[in-house]
Amino acid sequence: GENVEQHPSTLSVQEGDSAVIKCTYSDSASNYFPWYKQELGKRPQLIIDIRSNVGEKKDQRIAVTLNKTAKHFSLHITETQPEDSAVYFCAANAGGTSYGKLTFGQGTILTVHP
């Protein structure tokens, strides 16, 4: 089955700096790669996603890049703000099946210091 590795496990930045979180996946048939932000005790919130037919997607301060050949994808947050502090998860779908069946990375605790 799919295996998703996420790094780093913790990331501490100063307000205004950029943050980058990286993930690798194992199933070459995976074609949907969402990123979620989760606050303590709450449901994951989709912040951005990318499909395998594009290499990059951007939404204001957030961008995601995908390298299908290397099977890795990254989340980039620019101009970080304290409210960006949360746990971030990458995920990949089970290739060839429903895009809703996701395998999650281990998570990254992002702390943005004012």
Length of the chain: 114
| Peptide bond connecting 34 to the previous residue in cis, omega within 30 degrees of 0 | no
The amino acid at residue 21 is I
For residue 30, the tally of other CB atoms under 10 A from its CB is 24
Dihedral of CA 99/93/13/114: which sign? positive
Over the window 6 to 45, marking each residue x when it contacts another protein by CB under 8 A and - when it does not, the resulting string is ----------------------------x------xxxx-
Sorted by sequence, the CB contacts under 8 Å of residue 49 that are 6+ apart come out as: 32, 33, 34, 35, 57, 64
Q: In angstroms, give the least distance from the CB of 16 to another protein.
A: 28
- 107 near another protein (CB under 8 A): yes
Closest CB to another protein among residues 49, 65: 49
- 69 near another protein (CB under 8 A): no
Q: In angstroms, give the least distance from the CB of 18 to another protein.
A: 24
Specify the stretch interacting with another protein by CB under 8 A; choose among 54-62, 67-75, 78-86, 98-106. 98-106
In the complex, the residues that contact another protein under the rule CB under 8 A are 1, 34, 41-44, 46, 49, 89, 98-107
